[in-house]
Structure 1
Amino acid sequence: MSSQDSQTDDYTVQQENELEALASIFGEDFHDLRSKDPWKVKRPPEVYLCLRPNGLNNGQECYVTVDLQVKCVPTYPDVPPELELKNAKGLSNEKLQNLQDELTKLAAVRCGEVMIYELADHVQGFLSKHNKPPSRSFHEEMLKNQRRQQEKQALEEQQRMDQQRQKEEEMEIMAVIQKREEEKREEKRKKEIAKQVFFLEIIQRGDRIFCSKKIFFALHTILVFYSTRRDTVNDDGLRPHELLHFHSNTLGELVVHKGKCLGESQRLGRSVYCGFEANSGEFSILYEWSLRWSKKMGKFFTSQEKGKIENCKKQIHAAENEFNSLLRLSHPNLVHYMALSSIEKEDCLTVHLLVEHVPGTSLNQSLGANSPVLLDKLCHYAAQLLSALDYLHTNSVVHKHLGASSVLVDSEGTVRLTDYSLSKRFSDICKEDIFEQAHVRFSEGVVMPTKTGKKGDVWNLGLMLLALSQGKEVMEYPVTVPASLPADFQDFLHKCVCLNDAERWTTQQLLDHSFLKPPLPKNLLQYQETSPEDLAEDFASTVIPQNHILNSPFSSGLQRQFSRYFNEFEELQLLGKGAFGAVIKVN
C-alpha cells in the first residue's frame, strides 16, 4: 500500500506543479474548476483556458477565440486527459473538428509527460493561422467569388492566346521550311532535266564527239535508266520518287531510289523494280514482296490471326538471319545479294531484297520464243550453272526452285544464277491465308512433282535443260528424254531427271560428265601434230567462210551489242573448240 501511495503522491506533485506554471503563464485566462467545488474533496486537476491567437500586436484585432477544457485522470500524465473545445468564435464546425482531432493525436504522442501547456500552445498556433476577418455580408462574399472567377477566366484566356500565338509562329516556321524544300526540289528537278538533255545530246552526237566507247555505252545506260522512269514524271517535271534505306553488314548504309516496275512474278509472289544506289551511283535490282492482309480479316485481328502474323514475322526474321550468311557467298556465276529489309505497315508487311544489277536477259525468254537452244549453248549454260550450284551446295545452300526465269545471261554471255534460297522462303510466306496473294504457283502452269534438297536442284536443272533443248516446257511425267538428242546429252539428262533420288547424280559428278568435256575435233588434232607454219601453208587454205563464223553458236546478237571483240576485231578463221570455248583467229 505504501508504494501505491508514494506513486499517487508523485502524480499529484507533477499535476500541481504544472498547474502553478499554467497559472503564472496564462494569468486571468487560467481557471481551476476545482475551486468551485462546494466540498473541498481532493481530485485530479480540471482546468479551463481561454485561448487567443499568438503574437497579437497592439491594435491588431482578434477574430478567433476558443476555450479549452482539460480534465485529468488520477494517473495523468501517464494517461492522456479528456479534452473539450468550447465557446468557439470565428471558426467553422469543420475547422473546430480538425483542431479537436489534432489535439487528440498530440495528447496520445505526449503521453507520459506533462502536456497541457503544449496543447494550449498548439491551439493558439491554430488560431493564429486562421485569424482572418469574416465576410461582412453575403453580397461581399458574392463579389469576392465573382472577382476570383473573372481572374480565372482572364488567366485561361491569356493561356489560350499564348497557345494560339505559338501555333501561328510554328506554322510560319513550317511554311518557311516547306518553301525552302520546294525551292530545293525545283532546283534539283532543273538539274535532272539539264542532265538528261546533256546525256541525250551526247548520245545523239556520239559519232562526232571525242570519247571512248566505254564512256559512250555508260552514258547510254544512264539515259536508258532515266527513260524507264517516265512513270515518275508529270507535266511539270520529275516527281519525288520513293527512297528506301537499307543497312548492310558489308556495305553499310544504302539509300536506294526505287525505279520503274520491270515485271511481276506470280510464281514467286513478288514485283521487280530497277534501283539506283545514291551513295555509290551503282544500278541495282529490287525485289519486293508486299504481303497485304486478306480482305476477309476484320479491322481488329482475332487471336488466331495474330498468332499467324507473329509466325510470319518469325519466318521473315529467320530469313534475315540466313541472309547474313548468304552475303559471304562470292562466285562469278551467282547474282550477289546486297541488302534485305522488312517494314510493317497498317495493311501489309513489305519485304525488300536488293541484289546486284546484271545487264542481260533470262533464259525464260528463250522458252517464250519457242525456239530450241543450240547444243553448244546448252553445254555452256550447264557447265556454268553446275559450277554455281556446286558452290552453293558446298556452302550448305539449296536453291530450292531453279528455273529458266532464275538464270540470267549477261552482256558477255556469262550465266548468272539468282533467286537462290530466299525467294522460296518469302514465296512460302505468301501462301498463308492471312495474305491476299496466297496463290503462288511454282510450276508456272506445269504439273510436275516437287523435289527438295540438293538432289531437287539437280532435278530442276535437268528439266530446264530439256525444256531449252526442245523450245517448250516439259509437260509429261515420268520425264522422257527424246532419242533424237546426242547420246552424251541424253545420258546427262538421264542422270538429272531419274526418279530415284539415290541414283540421281550430284553436281560434282555432273561436272565430270563427258557432255561438258567434248572431244577435240579431228582437224584440230591434225593441226596440233603438224602446224601450218611447218608445212609453209597459209591459213587461208583452211579458212571457214565469214558467214559461217558469224552464224556460229558462239556468236550472239547480245554479245555483238556490248562486246569489244565484235567491235574492235575481225574474225578470220575458226580453228576448233575446246573445254573453254571456240578457238578463233582474228585480226
Structure 2
Amino acid sequence: EREHRTQREMAIMQLLRHPNICQLKEWMTEGDRYYMFLEYVDGGQLLDYIISHGKLREKQARKFSRQIVSALDYCHRNSIVHRDLKIENILITRDENIKIIDFGLSNIYSPLRQLNTFCGSLYFAAPELLQAHKYIGPEVDVWSLGIVLYVLVCGRVPFDDTSLPALHAKIKAGVVVYPDHLSKDCIHLLSNILVVDPLQRKDLSFVRNHPWLNKGHDAPVDNHLPHRLPLTTPD
C-alpha cells in the first residue's frame, strides 16, 4: 500500500506544472527505496512564518490565499485532489511566494465516482471525512483551504481541544468563532466554505471569484492552465 501510494504520488507530481506547486525534478529507485528530487524552496514553512509574524494582515493573507487557490484550481481542473492541504504542507520562498508540497495522499477524482479513503490531518480535515462519508474530492480541499485561510488571518485553528473526542465533535458541529478584527468580506468568504454539509459548502469557483480574494486585483487569480484549442469534430 505504501509503495503504491509513493508511485501514485510520483506519477501525479510528474503531471503538475504550476508556479505555486513544488515541482518534482527527478526520481529514481534503488531496491525497495524511492528517491524524489524536488524543487528547492528557500524560505521554509508557512507555519514558521506565521509563528514569527503572528496573524497576518488581510492584504498579506490575500496574497498567499490567491496563490493557494490558483494551485488548487489547477489541480482540480486536472482531476487531481490533494486531500492533505494544511499549513505544514505549504512552503514559502524568500520573496514570499507559496509552494504547496506533499501529494502523498493525492488522487485522481471523477464527478461520477466517489472516493472512500478517509485521510488528511485532523485539524484541517473536513467533517465528512471524520464521519466516514464518501466524497467526490474537491469539496474536502475547499474545507481545508478554509481552515488554512482562518489560520492566516487569525493565527490559530478554528477548532481546537486537548481531548480528541471533543475536537472531533467541534469539527463535526462546525461552529466557528470569528474575531472582531476580521473584515465582513473575509467572514463572508470563510462562513461560506467552512460549512459542515458538503452539498451546501461553496465550491472553488465561488472562492476564486469572491470579492475578498479579488480586492485590489482586476480579475480572479490565474490558474496557469495551458491554453488549449477546443476540440472540433471532423467535417
Confirm or deny a common fold (TM above 0.5). yes
> 1:326 is matched by which residue type in structure 2?
M
Q: 2:23 aligns with which of 322, 328, 336?
A: 336
Structure 1 residue 513, shift from structure 2 partner:
0.5
Per the alignment, residue 399 of structure 1 pairs with 82
For normalisation by structure 2, the TM-score amounts to 0.69
Give the conservation status (yes or no) of the 8 Å contact 1:335–1:416. Answer: yes
> 2:142 is matched by which residue type in structure 1?
V
Per the alignment, residue 146 of structure 2 pairs with 462
Please identify the structure whose Cα radius of gyration is greater: 1
| Cα distance in 2 between the residues matched to 1:496 and 1:515 | 13
| 2:40 pairs with 1:357 | yes
Secondary structure of residue in 2 paired with 1:327: helix
| Cα distance in 1 between the residues matched to 2:51 and 2:120 | 18
Return 5+ residue gaps in structure 2 as ranges.
Answer: 107-118, 130-134, 161-169, 220-235
Structure 1 residue 372, shift from structure 2 partner:
0.9
Structure with the bigger percentage of helix: 1
The structure-2 alpha-carbon separation of the partners of 1:441 and 1:497, relative to structure 1 and needing over 3 Å to count, comes to: closer
Q: Give CA deviations for 1:282-306 in whole Å, capped at 9, x if unaligned.
A: xxxxxxxxxxxxxxxxxxxxxxxxx
Per the alignment, residue 304 of structure 1 pairs with none
Per the alignment, residue 187 of structure 2 pairs with 490
Q: 1:390 aligns with which of 68, 73, 95?
A: 73
Give the total of aligned pairs.
188
Query: 1:56-75 maps to which residues of 2 (within 5 A)?
Result: none
The structure-2 alpha-carbon separation of the partners of 1:365 and 1:483, relative to structure 1 and needing over 3 Å to count, comes to: closer
Query: 1:4-403 maps to which residues of 2 (within 5 A)?
Result: 312=1, 316-317=3-4, 319-320=6-7, 323-344=10-31, 350-369=33-52, 371-403=54-86
Q: Give CA deviations for 1:32-71 in whole Å, capped at 9, x if unaligned.
A: xxxxxxxxxxxxxxxxxxxxxxxxxxxxxxxxxxxxxxxx
Secondary structure of residue in 2 paired with 1:424: coil
For normalisation by structure 1, the TM-score amounts to 0.30
| Cα distance in 2 between the residues matched to 1:455 and 1:391 | 15
> 2:21 is matched by which residue type in structure 1?
L
Return 5+ residue gaps in structure 1 as ranges.
Answer: 1-311, 426-439, 519-576, 581-587
Give the conservation status (yes or no) of the 8 Å contact 2:92–2:99. Answer: yes
> 1:480 is matched by which residue type in structure 2?
V
Per the alignment, residue 178 of structure 1 pairs with none
Give the conservation status (yes or no) of the 8 Å contact 2:86–2:121. Answer: no
Structure 1 residue 457, shift from structure 2 partner:
0.7
Give the conservation status (yes or no) of the 8 Å contact 1:367–1:473. Answer: no
Query: 1:515-534 maps to which residues of 2 (within 5 A)?
Result: 515-518=212-215
Structure 1 residue 340, shift from structure 2 partner:
3.3
Structure 1 residue 504, shift from structure 2 partner:
1.4
Per the alignment, residue 83 of structure 1 pairs with none
> 2:22 is matched by which residue type in structure 1?
V
| Cα distance in 2 between the residues matched to 1:357 and 1:450 | 35
The structure-2 alpha-carbon separation of the partners of 1:317 and 1:489, relative to structure 1 and needing over 3 Å to count, comes to: same
Q: 1:416 aligns with which of 75, 99, 117?
A: 99
Higher relative contact order (CA 8 A, sep 6+): 2
Q: Give CA deviations for 1:192-242 in whole Å, capped at 9, x if unaligned.
A: xxxxxxxxxxxxxxxxxxxxxxxxxxxxxxxxxxxxxxxxxxxxxxxxxxx
Structure 1 residue 370, shift from structure 2 partner:
7.4
> 1:490 is matched by which residue type in structure 2?
I
Give the conservation status (yes or no) of the 8 Å contact 1:361–1:410. Answer: yes
The structure-2 alpha-carbon separation of the partners of 1:474 and 1:369, relative to structure 1 and needing over 3 Å to count, comes to: farther
User: What is the alpha-carbon root mean square deviation over aligned residues?
Assistant: 2.8
> 1:442 is matched by which residue type in structure 2?
S
Structure with the bigger percentage of strand: 1
Give the conservation status (yes or no) of the 8 Å contact 1:481–1:493. Answer: no
Secondary structure of residue in 2 paired with 1:416: strand
Secondary structure of residue in 2 paired with 1:361: coil
Give the conservation status (yes or no) of the 8 Å contact 2:150–2:190. Answer: yes
Structure 1 residue 488, shift from structure 2 partner:
0.6
The structure-2 alpha-carbon separation of the partners of 1:457 and 1:367, relative to structure 1 and needing over 3 Å to count, comes to: same
| Cα distance in 2 between the residues matched to 1:464 and 1:409 | 14
> 2:144 is matched by which residue type in structure 1?
N
The structure-2 alpha-carbon separation of the partners of 1:335 and 1:506, relative to structure 1 and needing over 3 Å to count, comes to: same
> 1:466 is matched by which residue type in structure 2?
Y
Give the conservation status (yes or no) of the 8 Å contact 1:383–1:516. Answer: yes
Per the alignment, residue 171 of structure 1 pairs with none
Structure 1 residue 407, shift from structure 2 partner:
1.3
Structure 1 residue 382, shift from structure 2 partner:
1.1
> 2:149 is matched by which residue type in structure 1?
L
| 2:197 pairs with 1:500 | yes
Give the conservation status (yes or no) of the 8 Å contact 2:55–2:155. Answer: yes
The structure-2 alpha-carbon separation of the partners of 1:371 and 1:470, relative to structure 1 and needing over 3 Å to count, comes to: same
Secondary structure of residue in 1 paired with 2:152: helix
Per the alignment, residue 13 of structure 1 pairs with none
Per the alignment, residue 443 of structure 1 pairs with 122
Give the conservation status (yes or no) of the 8 Å contact 1:360–1:410. Answer: yes
Q: Give CA deviations for 1:387-438 in whole Å, capped at 9, x if unaligned.
A: 1000000111111110111112212222221113xx227xxxxxxxxxxxxx
The structure-2 alpha-carbon separation of the partners of 1:329 and 1:448, relative to structure 1 and needing over 3 Å to count, comes to: closer
| Cα distance in 2 between the residues matched to 1:466 and 1:455 | 17
Structure 1 residue 321, shift from structure 2 partner:
5.1
What's the % identity of the aligned pairs?
22
Give the conservation status (yes or no) of the 8 Å contact 1:408–1:415. Answer: yes
Secondary structure of residue in 2 paired with 1:463: helix
Q: Give CA deviations for 1:301-338 in whole Å, capped at 9, x if unaligned.
A: xxxxxxxxxxx3xx524642563343132111111112
> 1:506 is matched by which residue type in structure 2?
D
> 2:155 is matched by which residue type in structure 1?
G
Secondary structure of residue in 2 paired with 1:351: strand
| Cα distance in 1 between the residues matched to 2:177 and 2:204 | 20
